[in-house]
Amino acid sequence: MTENLDNIKKQFYEELNSVNSYAELERVRVAYLGKKGLVTEQLKNLRYLTPEEKKTAGMMVNSLKDEIEQAIISYQGTLKEKEYRKEIEGAERYDFTIPTNRELGTLHPITIVQRRIEEIFMTMGFIIEDGLEIQTEYNNFEAVNTPKDHPARDMQDTYYLENGQLLKTHTSAAQNTIMRKYGAPKKGEHLKVLFPGRCFRNENVDASHENTFFQLEGMMIGDDISIANLIYFMKVLLTEVFERDVKIRLRPGFFPFVEPGFELDINCAICGGKGCPTCKNSGWLELLPCGMIHPNVLRMGGIDPEKYTGFAFGLGLTRLAMMKYNIKDIRLFNSGNLKQLKQFTR
Ligand code: DAH
């Protein structure tokens, strides 16, 4: 008898597990618990036993009956899930929001590079700030230590509005606002900010000059910042962006808002250093001007230069994208030439 019940149980579970619909489940239920079902038969057979045997055997058959009943009830839940899954995986699935006959867009190469750099710096604790594109002359020049009549203004001619404001020539224009917004960092902390943005200059447009381009500026201020910190962050940046070892060259450079100031150049990936129009035949591309923030700039930003130092860098984002994607002509970026622009995906 026990053996018989074991076999019924085994057979039941085998059948149950292959059930895929409510109709099949009902068929299995009838086959075991129906009037002529296997378990019902066993119950009927009890009458041939002695009262003693009946007691134990009855308990066993009844407990199998209960078990099978329970299993069938809980399998209804499994079925519901199976049907639901079939529904969402099935061929009859539509997304009415997908436009037809229309290609999906891609990110602009500048956006891709910008986001990548933002990610890198955010992991190093930098916050991202946005700067205005229309700026006051004060923010763009005076506040970064470039007073009226300073010769450095010559290189940054731009478009002036009738109200005296201008289209910003560099992301440095946001330095003062950011320093004032956050103030000097607390003891043991640093002010670490990254601020990318669109810049404008009155340029004669050619393969490497545009009137509208992107920069990405960074600043780190604290009571213990030195050139060593600057070099470290620049190295991390370039290694991550190019995903390879790039050759770099550091040489003194003048910018009114830093002292000392540097030009960090990277070898031209387009000509491999031999010289081409993009690198003005020098084999090097000026990519990362940087330096220690000038005391006047800190002071104008409301930060005491006797107590704090900091570094700043102004990365040519457009130029960096040219290097990374081997784009020979800067004019592609603003060309709206989707056929070419959509080639860049990461
Ligand atoms: N603003 C400069 C330019 O557009 C770039 C620059 C140089 C930014 C040095 C900096 C810096 O923050 O430290 O030419």
Span 11-52, pLDDT tens digits: 999 999 999 888 899 999 999 999 999 999 999 998 898 988
Q: Which residues pair with 261 in a beta bridge?
A: 291
Phi, psi torsion values for 99, nearest 5 degrees:
-70, 145
CA of 157 to the centre of ligand 1 (A): 15
Q: If we measure between CA atoms, which residue out of 212, 201, 202, 170 comes closest to residue 331?
A: 212
Q: Compute the distance between CA of residue 130 and CA of residue 50 in angstroms, rounded to an integer.
A: 91
Distance 273 CA to ligand 1 centre (A): 24
pLDDT at 1 exceeding the cut of 90: no
**Judging by DSSP bridges, how do beta strands 212-222 and 134-135 pair with one another?**
unpaired
pTM of this prediction?
0.69
Question: Considering only CA atoms, which residue is closest to atom 14 of ligand 1?
Answer: 170
pLDDT by residue (tens digit) across 111-153? Answer: 999 999 999 999 999 999 998 999 999 999 999 999 999 998 8
Strands 284-293 and 191-200: unpaired
Residue with token string 């100031």: 261
Q: Which fold has domain 109-341?
A: BirA Bifunctional Protein; domain 2 (3.30.930)
Which residue's C-alpha comes closest to atom 8 of ligand 1? 314
CA 255 to ligand 1 center in whole angstroms: 7
User: pLDDT tens digits, residue range 42-88?
Assistant: 999 988 989 888 899 999 999 999 999 999 999 998 888 888 887 77
Q: What is the dihedral of CA 31, 33, 37, 41, to 10 degrees?
A: 160
**3-class secondary structure, 127:** strand
Residue to mutate (ligand 1; options 158, 217, 220, 319; most atoms within 8 A of CB): 217
